Structure 1
């Protein structure tokens, strides 16, 4: 009678697969076989596997990459490496990659049995049981970081915080451009004055002008009263214009007048109002490219860039990731768990390695979800698939028909445990034809 453990075997050598299959079946284990890493991943998606046994040296994608992939995507499955090319470097490499056991060919049945037993007893990588709790956070205002790229931004903030110079904050989406604007305002001598944030991309184009500069009663359909705009609300303080590149050319013209004359005119009015407002604009797009396409005014661009701040993407602030993780662990640990939440070292290593195309916003979302899914400690299994190790499969080269047929017959034989009668049925040929092809 077969044991409950399912063992996945991965080796491009059909004879080794058959040998492993025969030995493990005699030990009452249930086995699945794959002749490539790609085939193994297909099996893993749909099958509950208790142990992986893989070779190292295989064409296209090797066993080391499979071990790394499984260590992050299937951290609870133990991994046993069987190889015919033993070396100290190989041994160190597979152990660091997440392998549980390592044996070399040729091996005896008893050696295999011992290695399988030890591997099944080790159900989780040791590092995942360790905890790292949030460290003291360092930064500036609400911003967190100590990296050189972060310090360069802070240095510019220190120089502009006490004057009303117009500032353009540039950076990829999710890098914290609004936090930079808030730090400029609230760290300076105008901190008690209003700070008004406006997302120019979230307001319909036909309403943006009225929302920014206000309007008079009857200026347009639905204008039942005279109202001030965001600029009037920000008088003597700071207005933050996020996604300035989305403003229409008409609104850009009005903004230029505000910056030049220090005054605004309500929609439907002929009378201008003097204002004292510091303008901080932000964009994640290239304004110079928009200028070339005649979508952004060049004269407004120069008015906005009296001071320019480039906020670095998170991939250029790798050393700041642990502190940012700590900040979000504390925030969501208290919000969802009412306690401090820790993180496993191997999970933190994955977060430090990932390039974060969505920047800090993406990191915060990942930590928020992980805290919700965890029971007091964030581990590898609580992280989303996209941040973990990925295997890039090379494009399949075109092959002769005979080679494709040979590989498929081998695949069917492995799947059937070398049962030629069953393989012939699947291939819809008779046993004699199969024997001829195998020659």
Structure 2
């Protein structure tokens, strides 16, 4: 903001050579209006201007956006003015007569931390959007997503709890992918799938001849994951002896291979998972209390799909789109009565079950996934549980009205989002609202 027309034009020309967008204003009021309308990253203004001076404009900008940097250009050295600018939190000063190149340098120096913060925020938002795309955006999942983002960059040990099929291993891989260890291996082992006699050997390795059948030495998974992450799925299935050795390896970052006398040192982050309540297992005496607290520096509980509201439909659309891409066809829209069916189904197999159902649905649906097609592609188990939950579906019109109500409830009454959720255009959705008196 500069009231001198010639100087303002000269500043505009020089700044436009260095910055993407420059918005000139002749006085403080015009500048404030531009700021409110355009939300620039930085403000440069003179102190003495007609209609509204630079101090008043800076004050009003500070009230609206305390973090926006303001650079003052002034020929005045009056102590009172300078004290006022300090009180207002002005970021920098440039003396008049103005050197435009000095102004460019001052802007660059002032904006570096702003741009860095902006890039960090954008990266965080991108991470959050990635999590939401993969896991959903329901209120039930927001806490999980925020927690996962905060801890991904740490080395804390993590325990992920939740029913079978909620996505525990997927969440572990995402956390590893956002961590500082992402260039190193993520090694996964399902403890429950290993014979008890081989669990210790698989985790910690063995020397040649350590036991019958050990014809050669073998590195354990703790060592394979050195520098990276070891994901212990179904950790509650480990025997007391193996639990003790896991505790020692995690605490001491070293262990003895089976049959070995030389310590192996490792730097391995542990993410463990269980579909049981580990604290209950501790109370029952089947899981070590000290291991529980050592592994569970951070505890994450993934809610079952039936408690995640809007995620059921958003994940259905996501899976249909992914599978349709593989099939080289247009993803089908989901009919309102099919949406009711999806929302009322208890999903005992959680996200894994939903993905399986959508995989079959993408094969047999036409342009629209109808209730009939959806029912036909559910497994026998799916159908048995669905029958219990859908015997009172009512007429087709009642089901459509129910679908509209559910979409509005899921989106907090936001009509455009509800229309998107139902995969109908906004004008059609408004007609449905009128028709069903909603």
Tell me the TM-score range normalised by the shorter chain: 0.5 to 0.7
1:152 correspondence with 2:143: yes
The answer as to whether partners of 1:197 and 1:242 remain within 8 angstroms in 2 is yes
Instruction: Please state how far the C-alpha of 1:142 moved relative to its aligned partner.
Output: 6.7
What is the TM-score with the length of structure 2 in the denominator?
0.56
Q: 2:225 — aligned with what?
A: 234
Bigger relative contact order, structure 1 or 2, given CA contacts below 8 A and separation 6+? 1
Residue 173 of structure 2: which of 178, 182, 188 is its match?
Answer: 182
**Following the alignment from structure 1 to structure 2, what is the Cα–Cα distance between the partners of residues 179 and 171?**
12
Give the unaligned 5+ runs of structure 2.
1-127, 393-438
**Following the alignment from structure 1 to structure 2, what is the Cα–Cα distance between the partners of residues 347 and 390?**
11
Q: 1:304 — aligned with what?
A: 295
**Following the alignment from structure 2 to structure 1, what is the Cα–Cα distance between the partners of residues 202 and 247?**
16
Report SS of the residue matched to 1:365. helix
Instruction: Please state how far the C-alpha of 1:282 moved relative to its aligned partner.
Output: 0.4
**Following the alignment from structure 1 to structure 2, what is the Cα–Cα distance between the partners of residues 374 and 222?**
52
More displaced stretch, 314-323 vs 140-149 = 140-149
Distance 1:233 1:141, change over 3 A: farther
What is the TM-score with the length of structure 1 in the denominator?
0.55
Could you give the per-residue CA deviations for residues 356-406 of structure 1, whole angstroms, max 9, x where no partner exists? 2221111111111222333343211122333354449xxxxxxxxxxxxxx
1:326 correspondence with 2:313: no
The answer as to whether partners of 2:344 and 2:390 remain within 8 angstroms in 1 is no
Distance 1:201 1:376, change over 3 A: farther
Could you give the per-residue CA deviations for residues 205-238 of structure 1, whole angstroms, max 9, x where no partner exists? 1111111111110111111111111111110110
**Following the alignment from structure 2 to structure 1, what is the Cα–Cα distance between the partners of residues 172 and 263?**
27
Q: 1:74 — aligned with what?
A: none
- Structure in which a larger fraction of residues adopt helix: 2
Q: 1:256 — aligned with what?
A: 247
Q: 1:343 — aligned with what?
A: 334
**Following the alignment from structure 1 to structure 2, what is the Cα–Cα distance between the partners of residues 288 and 375?**
48
**Following the alignment from structure 1 to structure 2, what is the Cα–Cα distance between the partners of residues 352 and 267?**
50
Q: How does 1:3-82 map to 2 (within 5 A)?
A: none
**Following the alignment from structure 1 to structure 2, what is the Cα–Cα distance between the partners of residues 379 and 237?**
45
1:293 correspondence with 2:284: yes
Residue 204 of structure 1: which of 177, 195, 213 is its match?
Answer: 195
Q: 2:111 — aligned with what?
A: none
**Following the alignment from structure 1 to structure 2, what is the Cα–Cα distance between the partners of residues 201 and 331?**
31
Report SS of the residue matched to 1:363. helix
Q: RMSD of the alignment, in Å?
A: 2.0
**Following the alignment from structure 2 to structure 1, what is the Cα–Cα distance between the partners of residues 206 and 147?**
36
